[in-house]
Amino acid sequence: MKRYRFKIEYNGTPFCGWQRQTNLTSVQGEIEAALTKIGELNAIVHGAGRTDAGVHATGQIAHTDLQKRWQSFRLMEALNANLRQSGIAILSCEGANNEFHARFSAIKRRYIYRIIQRRAPLTVDSGLAWNVRTYLDLTAMKEAAKLLIGNHDFTTFRSTECQVTSPVKTLDTLDVNAVADSEKMIVIISTTARSYLHKQVRSLVGCLKYVGEGKWTSENLQEALIARNRKACAPIAPACGLYLTEVYYE
């Protein structure tokens, strides 16, 4: 058996998420089906992040063990030929040692969330960003985001379906930036951490949007964090704006 490491890009719109599920279309399942088509039966693909339904990736990392020893370029080309209509692309492929694990070897993950602020509905970016029609105060959002950086109990910002034992996580960064033109403003909220709770990033974004709209102050966000109660969270951001962009390793 030979282990291979992939960097993967996908549009998450048609998928139930990364993880394989019975009778549903998943990113993991599509890649495993592509491996079957090239003769690698029963191969299991392990991803660095189990992205939810509708969440995209430009830098997902995965690994798998294969029976045949492939030239990395030819393996990438063979998979892409079978994934061409799926919305999934293998960006790179390389051999890896048996100690490497896409999920458990990762030391940090980076996600971004795209908000497009404009009155008109999205067309080109439909399904690829959150269309917010109200004005957002970026300065207020930037200041509020600082309160969430560091080690905290993020119970308020975790899904009720989250299966992680501890709600305590450490956010290394949480930044709010924007690019504006005459027709729209693109707001990028980026964050890095070793790991996240289920729907944590979307919950944080939803709360920062409340701050940007003036519905909350920084003090309200602080109170929500301290409450450690899911009911204190603002409505979460939709999946369409979230991207896994990078996974870091030693």
Here the CATH number for the domain that contains residue 15 is 3.30.70.580
Which secondary structure element, helix H or strand E, spans residue 6, and what is its range?
strand 2-10
Which of 63, 96, 129 delimits the end of a domain? 96
Which residue(s) pair with 57 in the sheet? Answer: 10, 244
- pLDDT class of 182 with cuts at 50, 70, 90: confident
Domain holding 160, by residue range, is 110-248
Same domain, 87 and 121: no
User: Which three-class secondary structure state does DSSP give residue 36?
Assistant: helix
pLDDT confidence of residue 25: 97
The predicted model scores a pTM of: 0.96
Res 5 pLDDT > 90:
yes
Which of 53, 70, 96 delimits the end of a domain? 96
pLDDT confidence of residue 247: 98
Of the listed 52, 65, 137, 175, which one is catalytic?
Answer: 52
Tens of pLDDT, residue by residue over 133-150, are 999 999 999 999 999 999
Cβ pair 220, 207 in contact under 8 A: no
Q: Which of 203, 196, 240 is nearest to 48 (CA)?
A: 196
125 classed as catalytic = no
Same domain, 225 and 146: yes
Tell me how far apart the alpha carbons of residues 15 and 50 are, in angstroms, rounded to a whole number. 12
Start-to-end CA distance of the chain, whole Å, equals: 24
Same domain, 143 and 19: no
Based on the structure, what is the number of domains in the chain? 2
Res 59 pLDDT > 90:
yes
Res 163 pLDDT > 90:
no
- pLDDT, average across residues 65-93: 97
- pLDDT class of 246 with cuts at 50, 70, 90: very high
> Average pLDDT over the chain, rounded to whole?
97
pLDDT confidence of residue 122: 96
Same domain, 35 and 66: yes
